[in-house]
Amino acid sequence: MAASGFKIDKLVIIGAGLIGGSFALALKRAGAVRTVTGIGRSQATLQRALQLGVIDQTGKMDRDALAGANLIMVATPVGQMRDVLGALKLCLAEGTIVTDGGSTKQDVVTIARESLGSRFAQFVPGHPIAGTERSGPEAAFAELFDNRRVVLTPVAETAERAVMLVQAAWEACRAQVTYLTPRQHDTVFAAVSHLPHLLSFALVEELAAQESGELLFSFAGGGFRDFTRIASSNPEMWRDISLANREALGAELRRYRASLDNLQQLLDAGDADALGQVFERAQAARERWLKSKA
Amino acid sequence: MAASGFKIDKLVIIGAGLIGGSFALALKRAGAVRTVTGIGRSQATLQRALQLGVIDQTGKMDRDALAGANLIMVATPVGQMRDVLGALKLCLAEGTIVTDGGSTKQDVVTIARESLGSRFAQFVPGHPIAGTERSGPEAAFAELFDNRRVVLTPVAETAERAVMLVQAAWEACRAQVTYLTPRQHDTVFAAVSHLPHLLSFALVEELAAQESGELLFSFAGGGFRDFTRIASSNPEMWRDISLANREALGAELRRYRASLDNLQQLLDAGDADALGQVFERAQAARERWLKSKA
């Protein structure tokens, strides 16, 4: 019996990578699940997940594999969500709750509404704020979500009991559940996650494209390494996220470009006071943020 | 006797912070210096450096303190360089070599030429590519420069024996010495260091200025933390660096803004292929860079 009192018989994870695999392992650690079935595009990935004890059996997207499932976690890249949910609709029982771990939420809600039809009320959109630049079942671990935030973005149609079950599952994973609307979610993450990724990719690409690119990289140090760590992230995944959230990300990018226009003017004008004030406000804001998290 | 065979009798550090203090400690570790004198604006800082064993005595900027010095390391912020070198000129003996650790080099060379006059040949401009966002003598440690690059940017007037001594000192610190012209140096570091700092400050400041700033920060995760680590750097120091290198930094910022203009167009147009290719080239370039450093 789990400490939280939460216990389900059967979990299905669609996509047995970092997020899906860690979700399974965290629920197992809590004693909150009896058996986990893994479904995915790659048999090799599923076999590795099986060997690693992340899942207990593999299955295909059919009624057999989903029979008796209390909860299905869709943890595939956002770009595959339409295909996955469309296939899921054909074999989803009324009593099974579905959630996801996608990094954007307005598009997932739209896709889920279209794909799941009458089963849409069983779907709870979610986004765990945890991840590393690593992926695959080997990267999964039970502690990934400990004390991390998980944002759920249910809508008017979402069934209350579905939301309660998904919240309880995340709490059994020791995550902290927060609620936002899909639109709030996408606006927030455009600013604090999607934009930094785009900026980091942009810097590395721009330097690499210069004739002196190799010379430049040979002198790059620790600051550059940290600033560009997220440019080692999966390019396809971030392309999909950027496009899925292009409205909010586009607005943030426009705002940031206006900031850079301003900094360029201050720099060209040699305005030490104004430039120093921008840097000071930034440094102070970041220190406040670090303290608030401590 | 130092393993490298390098040994000096007396080192003077002007500024006993992270760079100056670590230089002293690294030379002491190598057995390459008999005594270290610290000079600085703050008596409190000098006293802490003395207590920590970073320096062996404190001094003022006068002939007494500099008497018999083989090497003087100027490790003050770039903004103080003119005052420091101007004062130094008045009491600098012919046999003493001077170097610095400033993050920009064209401006330092100009200031040194103007300030040191007939002593300019004794000055070797340098920049160790090592640093943390921490500062002060407490942050100094002997290993800071181990296997790190140090760029020296001597000019036509610089005395060969001065360059040789400074190179040997850095090698005794276990650093790897590389040569660039002052202009090459400033172009390279505008791209791989100064621009990332400016971009990181700009993002934090822009988010903090939004009405929903607190909400945004409350959802910021590990990617944001790494991307913005350098926005915790000293604002005054980075204001001075930005202005000292404003020509090269301005050019890099213009180039980067053009990259963002392009990304905005791709995003607005929903051009998945082109956007994915930018991200892929960035990710591949960063992986190549990581491998080249391994």
3-state SS string for B74-131: ECCCHHHHHHHHHHHHCCCCCCCEEEECCCCCHHHHHHHHHHHHHHHHHEECEEECCC
Question: Please, what is the average pLDDT of chain B?
Answer: 95
Which residue in the set A189, A205, A217 is minimally distant from B281, CB to CB?
A205
Burial of A139 (0-12, 13-18, 19+ CB in 10 A): middle
Q: Does B183 touch chain A (CB under 8 A)?
A: no
Which SS3 state, helix, strand or coil, does residue B14 take?
Answer: strand
Question: Using the 8-state DSSP alphabet, how is residue A120 labeled?
Answer: G
Task: Kindly provide the b/e burial profile for residues B11-28, where b requires at least 16 CB atoms within 10 angstroms of the residue's own CB.
Answer: bbbbbbbbbbbbbbbbbb
Give the pLDDT of residue A132.
65
Tell me whether residues B191 and A205 touch, CB distance under 8 A.
no
ipTM here: 0.87
Give the pLDDT of residue A136.
87
**Is pLDDT at B270 greater than 60 in this prediction?**
yes
Query: Percent of chain B at pLDDT above 70?
Result: 98
Tell me whether residues B213 and A285 touch, CB distance under 8 A.
yes
Give the pLDDT of residue B2.
46
Q: Walk me through the domains of chain A, giving residue ranges and CATH numbers.
A: 8-180 (3.40.50.720), 184-293 (1.10.3660.10)
Give the pLDDT of residue A77.
83
**Is pLDDT at B1 greater than 90 in this prediction?**
no
Distance from the Cα of A250 to chain B's closest Cα (Å) equals 7
Distance from the Cα of A175 to chain B's closest Cα (Å) equals 14
Tell me whether residues B279 and A201 touch, CB distance under 8 A.
yes
**Is pLDDT at B3 greater than 60 in this prediction?**
no
Tell me whether residues B232 and A290 touch, CB distance under 8 A.
yes
Give the pLDDT of residue A1.
44
Angle at A75 between CA A134 and CA A35, to 5 degrees: 105
The pair of structure tokens assigned to B68 is: 């018999």
Which 82-121 residues of chain A touch chain B by CB within 8 A? none
Which residue in the set A151, A219, A233 is minimally distant from B192, CB to CB?
A219
Give the pLDDT of residue B127.
96
Give the pLDDT of residue A3.
52
Q: Does B274 touch chain A (CB under 8 A)?
A: no
Distance from the Cα of A6 to chain B's closest Cα (Å) equals 26
Give pLDDT < 70 ranges for chain A: 1-4, 132-133
**Is pLDDT at B108 greater than 60 in this prediction?**
yes
Best of A78, A229, A241, A283 to disrupt the B interface (most B CBs within 10 Å) is A283
Pick the residue from chain A with its C-alpha nearest to B280. Answer: A235
Query: If you average pLDDT over residues B1-22, what whole number do you get?
Result: 87
Per-residue pLDDT tens over the stretch B28-53: 999 999 999 999 999 999 999 999 99
CB atoms within 10 A of CB B222: 16
Distance, CA of B102 to CA of B108 (rounded, Å): 8
Q: What is the pTM of this model?
A: 0.87
- Which residues of A fall within a CB distance of 8 Å from B215? 188
Which residue in the set A213, A253, A285 is minimally distant from B267, CB to CB?
A253
Per-residue pLDDT tens over the stretch A117-170: 999 999 999 999 987 667 789 999 999 999 999 999 999 999 999 999 999 999
What number of C-beta contacts closer than 8 Å exist between A and B?
A: 269
Cβ–Cβ < 8 Å for B150, B126: yes
Query: Percent of chain B at pLDDT above 90?
Result: 92
Pick the residue from chain B with its C-alpha nearest to A242. Answer: B267
Tell me whether residues A253 and B261 touch, CB distance under 8 A.
no
CA B7 to centroid of chain Cα atoms: 24
The pair of structure tokens assigned to A278 is: 């921008």
Q: Does B267 touch chain A (CB under 8 A)?
A: yes
Q: Does B136 touch chain A (CB under 8 A)?
A: no
Best of B283, B290, B292, B293 to disrupt the A interface (most A CBs within 10 Å) is B283
Per-residue pLDDT tens over the stretch B124-168: 999 999 876 677 899 999 999 999 999 999 999 999 999 999 999
Distance, CA of A199 to CA of B227 (rounded, Å): 9
Distance from the Cα of B255 to chain A's closest Cα (Å) equals 8
Tell me whether residues B238 and A279 touch, CB distance under 8 A.
yes
**Which run of H or of E encompasses A99?**
strand A97-100
Give the pLDDT of residue B293.
82
Pick the residue from chain A with its C-alpha nearest to B245. Answer: A267
